[in-house]
Amino acid sequence: MVRLCSVYLRVPTQRDCHLWGALLFVVLLATFQSKYVGAYETATWIDTCAFAVFLLSAVFCLIASAAFHTSTCHSERVSAKCHVLDYTGIVVLTVGSFVPCIFYGFYCEPLSQALYLIAIALVGIGAAYIVLDPEYAKPTHRGARTGVFIGLGLCAVIPVTQLVITHGASKLLSEMGFGWLLTSGALYIAGALIYATRIPERTAPGKFDCLFASHQIFHICVVLAALAHWFCVLTAFDHWHSDPGVCGS
C-alpha cells in the first residue's frame, strides 16, 4: 500500500493543481503584506488579519483536498478520514471567504459587522456538523452535500441585500468589487452543480477518468472563484484606504 501511494505521488494529478493553488495563495498573502499594506498609511494589522483568514482558508482547503486525493490509494479507513478533511476544507474556505467581505462591506458599521461575522461562524459550524456526519459521506448523498455547500454560500444574499439597500448597487459595483464577488459566486455554484451532476463523465463513461472529470472541473472552479474573491476584497481594501473611502462620505 505504501509503495502504491509512493508511485501515485510521482504521477501528475489534480493533487498537484491543489498544491500549486495553495502556494499561489501563500504568495498572494505575502504580496498583500509587503505591497498593499505598506502602500496605505491607514492600513493596519486588522486588514492583514482579514485577508489572512481568507487566503489561509483557501490554502487549507486546497491542501486538505490534495491530502484526500493522495489517500485514495491507501486503506479505506485512511481515505475516509481524509475525505472528512476534504469536506471540512470546503466549509472553512466558504466561511473564511465571508470574513473580508463582511469586514469591508460593513467597514463603518461595527455592529452589523460583528453580528454577520458571528452568524456566518455559527452557520458554518452547523454546515460542518451536517456534512461531517458519516451518513453524508455515502455516494447516495452527493447531491445533499452539494446542497449544503451551496446553501452556505448563498447566506451571502442576506448581507449583500442590506448593502444594496443602504449603499446602492452602483457603489458596490464601482467601489467594492461587487462584480468580482458575483463572478466568484457563479464559479462556486457552477463547479458545485457540475460536481453534483457528474458532467461530463455521465454522458461518456470511461472517457474522462483521467482528465476533465467533473471533480477536476469543480476544483478548477474553486481556484478561479477564490482568485475572483481576492480581486473583490482587494478592490474594497483600496476603496476604504483611499480618500473617498472615509466613513461618512
Which residues does the annotation place in the binding site? 69, 215, 219
Nearest to 156 by CA among 226, 100, 102, 106: 102
Q: Give whole-number Cα distances, 52 to 25, 58, 126, 132, in Å.
A: 10, 10, 23, 25
Nearest to 86 by CA among 151, 150, 131, 20: 131
Annotated binding site for Zn(2+): 69, 215, 219
Q: What is the DSSP letter of 13?
A: -
The 3-state DSSP class for residue 213 equals coil
For 207: left if phi > 0, alpha if psi spans -120 to 50, otherwise beta; the answer is alpha
Q: Provide Rg for the chain, Cα atoms.
A: 19
185 within 8 A of 156, measured Cβ to Cβ? yes
154 within 8 A of 148, measured Cβ to Cβ? no
Q: What is the DSSP string of 80-133?
A: HHHHHHHHHHHHHHHHHHHHHHHHHHTTT-HHHHHHHHHHHHHHHHHHHHHHTS
